[in-house]
Chains A and B, each alone.
Chain A
Amino acid sequence: MRQSTIAPRASVFGLGNVLLGDDAFGPFTIEIFRSQFQCGPAIEIMDLGTPGLDLAPYLYGRNFVILVDSVKADGEPGTVRVYRESDLSECAAQLRVTDHDPGLLESIAHLRLLGHAPVELAIIGVIPESCLFGAGLSSKIDAAVAVAMDQIVRILIEQGVDCKPRSQPLRPKLWWNPIAPSILESLVGCTPVRDSLRLVDRYENGKHGNENGGAISF
C-alpha cells in the first residue's frame, strides 16, 4: 500500500475541542509550543481535535508520539501528569455507547494488532477545571500550559530531537480565541491580539481566511 511520506521522527499532537473551555488545552499548548520552539523537519505538530476512533490513521506507523490532552484523573485542576502507554493499559475496558467516546485506547490496540502502532507514546495530560462551550481556558489551566510545554521539550530532547527556542517567536494561530488570554503575554512575550487570524483583514484584501491564515498546503 502507498506510504504517503516517511514517518516523522516524532509527532506532537494536541487533542481536544478548541471551543470547549479547558478541553482546548491540547491544541492550545501545541500551538504555543510551535510558535516558541524550532524543531527539525522530522517533527510533525498537529491539532487533531476530538477524533474518537478516527485517531488511528494519525497514529499509524508513527515513531515517537506525544499527545497533549485533558485527562480525567483525581487531582487539582491544572495538575499536569505524564502517562506512558503502560499506565493506560490498566484502565478498565469501556463500554462504547457512541463513537465520540475517546478512542485512544482502542486506536492503539487496533494498531498493535495490525503491527503499526507508534513505537512509543507519551501523554501529557492536564486535569481540566471546566469544559463549557465558548468559555476559553480557565485561569488554573493557564499556568499548566508552560508546565506541559516544558514536558514536551524535555521528552523531545530525551529522544535526541533537535528542539530549541526560536529567536523570533511566531505569532500563535489561536484562530478560535477572540481574545488571547493573559498566558500569551506572560508566557511568550507576545502582545495579545484580538482575532489572531485577522480573517476580516484578509477578506478585505481579497483573500480567503482559514485556520492557516489563508494558505492551503498540499
Chain B
Amino acid sequence: MARISIDPITRIEGHLRIDVEVDSGSVQKAWASCTMWRGIETILKGRDAREGWLFAQRFCGVCTTVHAMASVRAVEDALQLEIPPNAQYIRNLILIAHALHDHIVHFYHLSALDWVDITTIPKANPARAAAIADGVSSWPGNSHRELEAVQNKVKGLVGSGQLGIFAHGYWGHPAMRLSPEINLILFAHYLQALEFQRKACQVVGILGGKTPHIQNLAVGGVMNAINLNSLATMNMDRLGMLQSLLQEMMPFVEQAYFVDACFLAASYPEWFRYGRGVANYLAVPDLPVDGKATRFDLPGGVITNGNLSSVRPINDWHDQAIRGAVAEDVTHAWYQGKGLQPPWQGKTDPDYTDFRENGKYSWVKAPRYDGAPMQVGPLSNILVGYASGHALTRKWTDLAFKQIAASGAHITINDMQSTMGRYLARAIRSAMLSELALQHWQLLSDNILKGDEATYNPPVFPQQEIVGAGLHEAPRGTLSHWVVIDKGTFSNYQAVVPTTWNASPRDEKGAPGPYESSLVGNPVANAESPLEVLRTVHSFDPCMACACHTLDASGRRIAQVKVL
C-alpha cells in the first residue's frame, strides 16, 4: 500500500491537495482538500447590493465574469427585476466568449500535456500528420508547412535539453500512448490556441468595456449605451466587429478543439472506464433568450444514480426545488456548525484543525442536493441535455461519437460518465456554444435594428429583508450566489461555486465528493509519477483557491508529489 500526496506546498496560500492510497496499482481511497480558507463572502457583508458584483468578480482571477454575473442575477432575483432583452444578449455573448476561452485553455494548456508526450514530436512525420488531420478537419493550421514549423520549434527545445516550462511533464510515462503525429497536431493547436484566446478577450473587451474585469454590468441590466448613430456607443460598426470575431473563433472550436478531443477519446478509450465517481448530476439552464428569462438555449436538470431516464428538468431560475434542495455540510470541513445548512442561513466561521483524514481536512464545504453529493460541469450539461432530448446537445454529442467510432472505438452516452467523458463533454459544449454565439449575436442585432435601445431597468430596494439566488452555468458547472439584502445592503452572501460541488469533502454520512470518488479505481502505474491521478483531477478543471496568487521567484517547485 502506497500513500501519495500531491500538494502545492510552497505556495503562500494553499491550493488543492490530493491524497490517495494505492494498492495493487489502483487507487483505493482518496481525499481532496483545499488548503486555503476561502471566506471570500465575508467581504460582501454590509456592502451596497448594487456594487456586490465588482467585488464578486475579484473572487477569482480566471473566472472573473462568472461571479460578476451570478452576483447581479442574485440581486435581480431578490428584487424580481426583469432586465431588457439587449442586456440579456450582451451578457450571454460575454459568457459565451469567456466560456470558450476557458474551455480551450483547460484542454490545451492545463491538461493536454497529461496525454500528449511532446518529446516524441521530433520523431513525427509532418506530412503524415497533415494527412491525418486533413481527413477529419478543415482547420488551416494543420498544413504540412505549419506542422513542420511547430516540429522544428519542439526539436529546438528537446535538442537543447532545456525543456523549460515543459520539463515537469511525465514524458515517456507508460500511460502516454499517442502517436508522434497526433502529438504534433495537438501541440500545434496548443500554440495556435493563443491566437484564439486573444479573439475571445476582444469580444469580452468590446462588450464589457475592459478585460480582464468587465465594467459594463449593473443590477438591472448592462451599461452599454446603444445608439446606431453614435461613434462612441454600440453601433453597426461594433456589431460588425463582434460578428467577425465570433465567426473567426468558430473554426478553431469546431475544427481543432472538437476534433482533437475526439482524437484523444479514440486513442485512450480505456479512460471511459475510469473516473465515474459521483453519478448524480446538476446543471442549471442558461443563455436566456428573453428578458424575463423564461426560455433558455442551454437546458438544466438533475440526474440521479447515473440513470439518464431519471432526468428532472429545471426549467428556469425560479425553480423551487433547487432552492430547497441545496445545503452545505461542514462535518469534514474546517468550519463550525453541524448538519446541513441552506446557503441563505449559511455561516463561514472557521474551525481549523490539521489534516485529519477521519475528521476535518478541507476548507471546502460539502454542498449537497437533497442530501446527496452532485457532480457539476460540462458533463452534467451534456448528460442533462442529451437525456432531455435537447437537439443541439444531441447533434454535437452524436457527431463526436461518430468521429470516435471512425477510429474503431464505440462510445455511448453512458460511457460519458467517466474521466474521458468529462474531457469530451467540454469539447461538445464548446462546439454548441460556438454555434450559439452567432445566434445570440443575431438576437442582439435584430433587437437593436427593431429600434429597441434599452439596456437597463433601475433597481428599487424595499425596506424589508429580501432573499435571492443567482444561478449561472459557468464553464466549470453550476455556480450559485445566495444573497440576503436588507435595505439595499447585503446581510448575508454565500457563493456555492462549481469546485465546491466537485472538490467537496466527505459529508456527515461519510459520502465522498466527486473528486474523491472518481479517483477510486484509477490505475497508478508508478507511484512516483501519478499521472493517472492528475488526469482524473484535471478532467474536472479544478479551480480551487478562487483568486490566490503570488509569483514564485524562489525557483522552488510549486507542487510536490510525496510517496509516504
Contacts and interface: CB of A to CB of B under 8 A. Distances in A.
A15 B54 contact: no
Contacts of A106: 109, 165
Residue from A1, A94, A109, A131 with most neighbouring chain B CB atoms (10 Å): A94
Contact of B556 (A92, A109, A199, A211): A92
A218 B553 contact: no
A57 B198 contact: yes
A199 B49 CA distance: 11
Contacts of A97: 6, 8, 15-16, 18, 534, 537, 542, 544, 558-559
A4 B202 CA distance: 8
B213 A54 contact: no
B381 to A, nearest CB: 19
Residue from B6, B15, B553 with most neighbouring chain A CB atoms (10 Å): B553
Interface string B74-88: 000000000000000
A208 B232 contact: no
Contacts of B212: 48-49, 51, 54
B232 A218 contact: yes
Contact of A104 (B6, B37, B546, B551): B551
Contacts of B518: none
Interface in A131-178: 131, 133-134, 175-176
A72 B552 contact: yes
A71 B194 contact: no
A60 B555 CA distance: 24
A99 B541 contact: yes
Given A73-B553, A210-B54, A50 B12 contact: no
B215 A216 contact: yes
A71 B556 CA distance: 12
Contacts of B40: 19, 133
A114 B194 contact: yes
B66 to A, nearest CB: 13
B550 A98 contact: no
Interface stretch (A29-37, A80-88, A184-192): A80-88
A17 interface: yes
Given A93-B167, A95-B561, A101 B194 contact: no
A123 B163 CA distance: 23
A23 B550 CA distance: 7
Residue from A106, A214, A216 with most neighbouring chain B CB atoms (10 Å): A216
Interface in A3-18: 4, 15-18
A49 B224 contact: no
Contact of B559 (A16, A95, A100): A95
B191 A113 contact: yes
B557 A98 contact: no
A110 B42 contact: no
Nearest to B241: A2
B553 A87 contact: yes
A179 to B, nearest CB: 14
A128 interface: yes
A61 B326 CA distance: 46
A128 B547 contact: no
B446 interface: no
Interface in B509-552: 534, 537, 541-552
Given A89-B164, A216-B224, A123 B551 contact: yes
Contacts of B201: 57-58
A49 B32 CA distance: 27
A181 interface: no
A56 B553 contact: no
B312 interface: no
Contact of A57 (B48, B194, B210, B542): B194
B238 interface: yes
22 contacts: A1-B199, A17-B547, A19-B55, A20-B547, A49-B64, A51-B62, A54-B101, A69-B551, A73-B554, A92-B555, A94-B557, A94-B558, A95-B559, A97-B558, A98-B545, A100-B62, A203-B48, A210-B54, A210-B216, A210-B217, A216-B215, A216-B224
Interface of A: 1-2, 4, 15-20, 23, 47-54, 56-58, 60, 69-74, 81, 83, 87-102, 104-106, 109-111, 113-114, 116, 123, 125, 128, 131, 133-134, 175-176, 199-200, 203, 206, 208-212, 214, 216-218
> Which 6 residue pairs across A and B have the least CB separation, nearest first?
A50-B61, A93-B167, A216-B209, A50-B549, A94-B558, A93-B168
Given A50-B62, A97-B15, 15 more contacts: A1-B248, A15-B551, A56-B194, A56-B197, A60-B198, A72-B554, A95-B6, A101-B15, A102-B549, A200-B48, A209-B54, A210-B215, A216-B216, A216-B223, A216-B224
